[in-house]
Structure formats: structure tokens, C-alpha cells
């Protein structure tokens, strides 16, 4: 008789334990598994002094574009973005050719649209963006990073890596690549 009472007394515990276990598994799955979106942002490479408003890359810029392909070529990149200008297109062209990817063109002034497209279509992937001295800081900040210093007109060797996490703020890593400028 004593055993039956103790059994009835604790019979309600089993459903509660089962619910707690399911909640724990759910929390572990969604809390630990966080697809990280990584965005590599560069300013276009060195441009020619001729060519008006939309110049080609000069030889140093062509070399830097090759260096970008070497640096980022093994990073499992899913998408490459560049503005409508020749200098940004040519900066990522060697990388796109190496990876067999098409360059996605975006309007230089539409930073919010670019960031929305990356977040919507490339969650958990690695993306490269070629931008301009005035838009690289905007892109980093729009992705959630802290404001960065303005980029001078003679500065071409910055590489910003922004990692976007599901449940915490982004991390920004500032590196240099290619010949110092």
C-alpha cells in the first residue's frame, strides 16, 4: 500500500521532466547552433588617374585584385558584390573568376539595400563586398559594427571582416592585405 501511494505521489513528475528535457534540447539546439554570416569588405583597388568618373585599375590596383583573389580564394565564398563602377568590378573580378562566381552588382548609394540583401539571402555564408572609401565605413556600421575611422583617398589595403551572429552583436576584424598604402 505504501508503494502505491508513493507511486501516485510522483506520477505527475514524469510529464514535467519530459517537458523540461524538450525545452533544454530546444534551447541547446537554437542557442549553440548559430549560423555565422561573414562579410569581407574591401575598398576598390588603386585606380588609374585617367578615365574620368569611372576609371580602370592601374597596375598596382590590378596586383591588389590578384592578391585579394589569393587571400580570399580559399574562404568558401558564396557571393561577391561590387558597385556599378568599373574599379570595384575589376577589384573582385580575379576572385570571381577563380571561384566561378558571378559578381552581384549593387548601387553604391544603396548601402541599406546591400546589407538587407546579404542578411536575407546569405545567412550563414561568406560574402565579399567591394565598395568605396566613403561607403566601407557605412557598410560596416549598417551591419551593426561600431563606427570606423574614415578611409583616406590614398588608402587601399584595408580588409574589414564583419561576423554576424544570431544571438549576439557583430564582431569586426580590421586587417590589411597586399602592398601597404
Q: How far apart are CA 127 and CA 80, in angstroms?
A: 6
pLDDT value at position 157? 97
Mean pLDDT estimate for the chain: 89
- Mean pLDDT is lowest, of 10-24, 39-53, 112-126, for 10-24
Provide the pLDDT confidence category of residue 98 given band limits of 50, 70 and 90.
Answer: very high
Measured at the alpha carbon of residue 180, what is the angle toward residues 47 and 46, in degrees to the nearest 5? Answer: 5
Query: What is the pTM (predicted TM-score) of this model?
Result: 0.83
Span 128-166, pLDDT tens digits: 999 999 999 999 999 999 999 999 999 999 999 999 998
Q: What percent of the chain has pLDDT over 90?
A: 75
Inter-CA distances, 24 with 16, 79, 111, 151, Å: 12, 35, 39, 47
pLDDT value at position 67? 97
pLDDT at 93 over 80: yes
Span 15-35, pLDDT tens digits: 666 676 677 666 555 555 668
Rounded mean pLDDT of 170-175?
96
* Tally of CA atoms within 13 A in the half-sphere of 171 that contains its CB: 10
pLDDT at 8 over 60: no
pLDDT at 12 over 80: no
pLDDT value at position 29? 59
What fold characterizes domain 35-176? Rossmann fold (3.40.50)
Nine-digit cell at 64?
591588389
Amino acid at each position: 500500500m505504501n508503494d502505491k501511494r508513493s507511486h501516485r505521489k510522483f506520477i505527475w513528475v514524469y510529464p514535467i521532466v519530459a517537458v523540461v528535457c524538450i525545452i533544454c534540447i530546444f534551447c541547446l539546439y537554437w542557442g549553440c547552433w548559430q549560423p555565422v554570416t561573414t562579410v569581407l569588405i574591401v575598398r576598390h583597388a588603386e585606380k588609374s588617374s585617367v578615365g574620368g568618373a569611372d576609371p580602370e585599375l592601374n597596375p598596382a590596383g590590378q596586383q591588389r585584385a590578384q592578391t585579394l583573389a589569393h587571400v580570399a580564394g580559399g574562404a568558401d565564398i558564396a557571393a561577391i558584390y561590387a558597385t556599378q563602377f568599373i574599379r570595384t568590378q575589376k577589384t573582385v573580378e580575379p576572385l570571381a573568376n577563380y571561384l566561378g562566381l558571378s559578381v552581384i552588382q549593387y548601387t553604391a548609394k544603396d548601402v541599406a539595400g546591400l546589407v538587407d540583401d546579404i542578411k536575407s539571402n546569405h545567412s550563414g555564408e561568406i560574402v565579399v563586398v567591394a565598395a568605396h572609401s566613403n561607403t566601407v565605413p557605412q557598410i560596416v556600421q549598417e551591419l551593426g559594427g561600431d563606427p570606423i575611422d574614415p578611409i583616406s583617398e590614398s588608402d587601399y589595403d584595408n580588409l574589414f571582416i564583419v561576423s554576424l551572429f544570431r544571438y549576439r552583436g557583430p564582431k569586426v576584424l580590421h586587417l590589411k592585405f597586399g602592398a601597404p598604402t
